[in-house]
Amino acid sequence: MQDLAALQKKAREAGRPLLGCFPPYPPLELFTALGLTPLVLWNLGPWQRDTAQADGHVQPFACSVARRLAQACLGPEAAGFDALFMYNACDTLRNLPEVIEQANPDLTIHRMHLPQTHPPREHARAYLEGEIRDLAVRLAAGFGTPFSRDAFGDAVERHGRLRALALEAAGLAARGLLPFSRYAGAMNRVWLSSLEDGEGLLKELIARAARTPAPARARVVLSGIQPPPGPILDLMEEGGIRVVADDIASLSRALTPGPATPGDLGAYWWAWYMGHHPCPTLLYSVERRMGLLPDLARRSGAEGVIFVGEKFCECEYFEFPLLTREIQGAGFPAMVLELAIDDRDNLEAFRTRLEAFAEAIESGKGRPS
């Protein structure tokens, strides 16, 4: 297993300063345009099992995302970043920046407030546009890299290409031509790589796709704040469960395309954030979230939905009861898998549940709908 330090070292080979970013939807194109390499600090489990430093600062009732993020920013890997960026999502993440600053006074954290009004309102638009412009000015001053429209246009195009490749890989996984675990693992690495390395990783992944699909007992939509750990995805695949579509924060939700033409910086990001794939961390997107999952399940030919519940993630847990009901009301079986920070070490209980879920889907296939 590679660790975060190795990924930082590799990303630095691109010759640009590294900007660690959280939560999962930072304005990546802006950072690229300013000559930075943004690394999205989300789903760090595969790279960082130990949370020793974080445990001295964050209580165990915070989710694993926050604890691993805190570890990355408080442990030795913090020195591998030139700066950090964060915007507001949940209360836990909102409280972290000063904890990090306290431990690393030399590490600058650039903050942005993302308006959470819903429905989106005009003064929120003006506010966000101001925040984005201020951020660009601060970063340009901090790194000595002035913002240019041309560079932004180029960054938009390059990130668009990356997203297109990611969607192509997702499509292959949905058709059974790539194991979903490999797609999720690659994407996890893409977000922690330079743009050029990320493109390379995805091209390589796509090139290695099989020509004939793997058999599937049950086709599901997977939804959650991060994908389950690799060993649990392996269990799903062993049990014949194929992910035909995902609603995962670091996967499909993060692949929201931007406006076709870059245009004004503020307007671009307003359009991107407000049109973003719904996510429980984006409070304003809740209106669109309810109908999304049944629709996704229908469109993708799924036969069930698995919610990946990140223990202590209140953003997700407030939504599960209604979402589950909505999904079941639409005729799809649904299951919530609760995952805690150490659950890659307790696999057998998951195997039993996943097998039972696959069997339930299989046994329901013969029934009239």
Partner 1 sequence: MSETKLLPKSGKNLSRLMTGYYASCHQEAAAGKPVVWIAIIVPIEILHGFNLVVAVPENHAAMCAAKGVGPAQCEAAEAAGYSLDLCSYARIDLGTAFQGGQGSPSLGLPKADLIISNNNNCSLIHKWFDVYRRMNGTPHFLLDVPFCYGPQREKDLNYILAQYREMIRFIENRTGQRFDPERAAQAVENARECHRLWKRFLGLAKHRPAGITAFDTFAHMAPYLTRFRGSREMVEHMRLVVSEAEEQMAQGLYPVPGEKYRLLWDNIAPWHQMRPMSSRLKELGANIVHATYTGCMGSLEGQTSLYDDPDPDPLRHLARQANFSMCPHGLNLRAKAMAEMIRDYAIDGVIFVSNRSCKPYSVMQMDQKEMVVQATGVPSVMLDLDHADNRKYSESAAFLRIEALLEEIDAARA
Among 50, 318, 331, 349, binds partner 1 (CB under 8 A): 318
Window contacting partner 1 (CB under 8 A); options: 13-21, 43-51, 314-322, 352-360: 314-322
Provide the mask over 128-167, with x wherever binding to partner 1 is found by CB under 8 A and - wherever it is not: --x-------------------------------------
Asked if 99 interacts with partner 1 (CB under 8 A), we say yes
Asked if 324 interacts with partner 1 (CB under 8 A), we say yes
Classify 274 as helix, strand or coil.
helix
Instruction: Write out the binding residues for partner 1, residues 71-90 only, by CB under 8 A.
Output: 88-90
Among 3, 10, 12, 116, binds partner 1 (CB under 8 A): 116
Asked if residue 117 lies in contact with residue 127, where contact means CB atoms within 8 angstroms, the answer is no
d(C-alpha 216, C-alpha 84), whole Å: 42
Q: Hey, what are 152's tokens?
A: 């932004």
Among 115, 227, 229, 304, binds partner 1 (CB under 8 A): 115
Asked if 105 interacts with partner 1 (CB under 8 A), we say no
Among 280, 337, 339, 361, binds partner 1 (CB under 8 A): 280
**H-type alpha helices, the chain:** 4-12, 28-33, 64-74, 91-103, 122-143, 149-174, 180-190, 195-207, 230-238, 265-274, 286-300, 314-317, 320-329, 347-364
Q: Residue 23: is the preceding peptide bond cis (ω within 30°)?
A: yes
Asked if 320 interacts with partner 1 (CB under 8 A), we say yes
Is the Cβ of residue 242 or residue 289 nearer to partner 1 in the bound state? 289
Asked if 300 interacts with partner 1 (CB under 8 A), we say no
Instruction: Tell which residue, 282, 227, 254, has the closest CA to residue 89.
Output: 282
In sign, the C-alpha dihedral spanning 87, 88, 93, 94 is positive
Asked if 113 interacts with partner 1 (CB under 8 A), we say yes
Window contacting partner 1 (CB under 8 A); options: 144-152, 184-192, 260-268, 315-323: 315-323
d(C-alpha 244, C-alpha 297), whole Å: 9
Q: Give the footprint of partner 1 on this chain (CB under 8 A).
A: 56-59, 61-62, 66, 88-92, 94-99, 102-103, 111, 113, 115-118, 121, 123-124, 127, 130, 280, 283-284, 286, 290, 309, 311-312, 314-315, 317-322, 324
